[in-house]
Structure formats: structure tokens, C-alpha cells
Amino acid sequence: MRLNNYIMKLKTVCYELHEYFSIQPRHISVCPQCKKPFKPPVEMLEFWGLDSSKNTNFMKGKGCFNCLGTGYKGRTGIYEVLVIDDLIQKLILKNNTSQEITRAAIQAGNLTTLKENAAEKVRQGITTFEEASSAVLV
């Protein structure tokens, strides 16, 4: 296949996949001045696929002058990342549907979903479960 044809095909597929592989850059961070450790309920951890015993740093903002009492200050992005390897490239070129490409990418470990990325940022104490939920729309 000629390079121009491949690029046009890739542009078309990327346009079709846009709703599945999107970026949510307006994710709010916990205020560094007033953040305090937080022990979330077990149900919340199960829903997000997290384990409190695995190097976690759950935080919640108490509210202070620095964050105007909100408990949040600054922004961080959550991203859905698709690594295009040979398998994904073949699926794209075969005109597979977005859902088929998504399933294959998840099975191959080539796709980090918004939920997974948001859960990781919650685990690291960068943001809260509430903000992650609003960004991912779970």
C-alpha cells in the first residue's frame, strides 16, 4: 500500500475512533497545601479495581485559603492511550470496527482506558474518586 493511501486510511480510522479514544484534560488535582490521607470504602476500591494494600496514597483536600476552600488546586489530564502495533495496524487496514479494535487493543495490553488512567491518578493521590468519576462518567 502506498504511503498516502495508508495515511488517509489512518486519518479516517482515527476520526472514527475519536469518541472511543479521547482526551479529558480538565481533570482537577487535590490541593497540595491542604491534602490529607483518606481511607476509601472497600466498595469504592472494588469498583475502580484498586487494592488499598498496593502502594496507595489516597488523598482528599480539606479546603484552605490556597484553594479557596474547595480542596482542589490546579489541573492534570487523564488520557486514553492506544499504542498502534502490528496487530492494531492490521485491524485498521482490514476495516474492522472501532469496537473490534478496542477489544483487541485491551486484550493485547495496548490500550489504557480513561478509567484505568483516572484510577491510577487517584491511587497516587493526584486527584479524588469524585473528580475521577466526573471525568470518566462512569
Q: Which domain holds residue 124?
A: 3-136
Question: What CATH number is given to the structural domain containing 44?
Answer: 3.40.50.300
Confidence grade of residue 2 (pLDDT, cut at 50, 70, 90): very low
Query: In the structure grid, which three cell numbers stand for residue 120, read together?
Result: 491510577
Number of structural domains, the chain? 1
DSSP label at residue 31: P
69 membership: H or E segment, kind and range: none
Write out pLDDT tens, residues 120-137: 898 888 988 888 888 777
Strands 111-112 and 35-37, bridge-based pairing: unpaired
User: pTM of this prediction?
Assistant: 0.71
Each residue's pLDDT tens digit, 81-95: 888 888 888 888 888
Residues 6 or more apart whose CB falls under 8 angstroms from that of 106 comprise 113
Within 13 Å and on the Cβ side, how many CA atoms surround 11? 6
Strand, coil or helix: what is 8?
helix
